[in-house]
Amino acid sequence: MNLGREEGTALVSELVNMVHDEVDSRTAVVLCPPFPFLGYVKKLFQGQANVFLAAQNCSSRVSGAYTGEVSVGILKSFEVDYVILGHSERREYFHETNAELAEKTNLVLGSGLVPIFCCGESLQMRQGGDYLGFVKQQLTESLFHLSAEQMRQVVIAYEPIWAIGTGLTASAEQAQEMHAALRAHLAGRYGAALAGDISILYGGSVNAKNAASLFACPDVDGGLVGGASLKSRDFTDIAKSFTYS
């Protein structure tokens, strides 16, 4: 929830131009503005094949008298491609549950959009509990009712909550440990081939300095970028950090 219309459109214009000139066309760049700016942002990158539009959230209701909510149908009318679900801030501040996120996932997939499903653990859980089991349970309770065909459409984003906006960052080794555990968990339910095809993003204070080491991890397929996305140079450098073998 940053920037007004003028600042936001200026940022997106810079980003789109820099991505076009500097980022490998095989790298998908997904822009996730606040709801009121979806239409503005869409117009700024039309015709650029590797740039996509995402909403930061959606309602768990199809339609009706739910003032202030935004339905998947409304998002689709803005030609949104992706929808972020279960971001740590939605879980913490708005008390979204795994069951509610399962409902949202169904709605997003049913509308032909792609959910970016967020999961992650707090610092307290990281230090004192079964943090791997906790995050795997988030997937189990929100995603494992899906068919293999549906699951193949989902993007997962691991957010170590303790590394968001704190200045802390998971090491490449910590990120790889969790990503590998989540991929193995997916393989146990859907098989290794499908698990290998699912993109798992890292989303905890990704910046231009640590992106290359994080993206070099075999099970890290990209980033869910927070504060660094408000600076066009930093965001572009992060996108450029993803390399292809």
Which are the catalytic amino acids? 87, 159
What ranges in 46-110 are assigned the alpha helix state H? 72-77, 88-93, 98-110
| 3-state SS, residue 4 | coil
Using CA of residue 176, residue 178, residue 179, residue 181, what is the dihedral sign? positive
Distance (Å) of CA 66 to CA 60, 69, 70, 174, 186: 10, 6, 9, 40, 34
Q: Bridge partners of 85?
A: 117
Residues contacting 240, CB < 8 A, separation 6+:
22, 23, 24
CA pseudo-torsion sign 29, 30, 36, 40:
positive
Distance from C-alpha of 182 to C-alpha of 108, rounded to nearest angstrom = 22
Residue 168 CA to residue 184 CA, distance in Å, equals: 26
